[in-house]
Structure 1
Amino acid sequence: MRRVLGRVLLLGALAGVALALRRYLEREEGGEEVAEITFDDGSARVLAAGSAEGRELSEVARKLVELGL
């Protein structure tokens, strides 16, 4: 019984690694990067990384990181 359980756990771990690797590779191939801004009232706005607003937000975030905020 212990041997079977160990094999099932090993197969589950291998399947998890394979799924994580697949999702990572799919993201690298052509997944679009987006930024989501959530406001205090609970509303949200999603910006594509290639849009003018997305590039502007990226610059602001980069400056904040440089300042250590």
Structure 2
Amino acid sequence: MDIEDVPITGDMIRLGQLLKYVNVAESGAHAAAIIGSGDVSVDGEVETRRGRQLTRGMVVTVAMPQGEQTFRVT
């Protein structure tokens, strides 16, 4: 599995912001739809909260039509 590292400048990033930052979502509303569909997991557990706080070391996986994409907050 390929994991893309996503560097952040602060202590945390919200899940919806991360999806926009890595170009998985085009907007906050699009991020909310992706997350609400149950296609996003954080550290192996499905996450449905767009505002979920992510800190360094957390791994986010998104089920996409072309396959899963995995990101690690660094």
Taking structure 2 as the reference length, what is the TM-score of the superposition?
A: 0.23
Structure whose residues are more often strand by fraction: 2
Between structure 1 and structure 2, the one with the greater Rg is 1
The higher relative CO (CA closer than 8 Å, separation ≥ 6) is in 2
Taking structure 1 as the reference length, what is the TM-score of the superposition?
A: 0.24
Structure whose residues are more often helix by fraction: 1
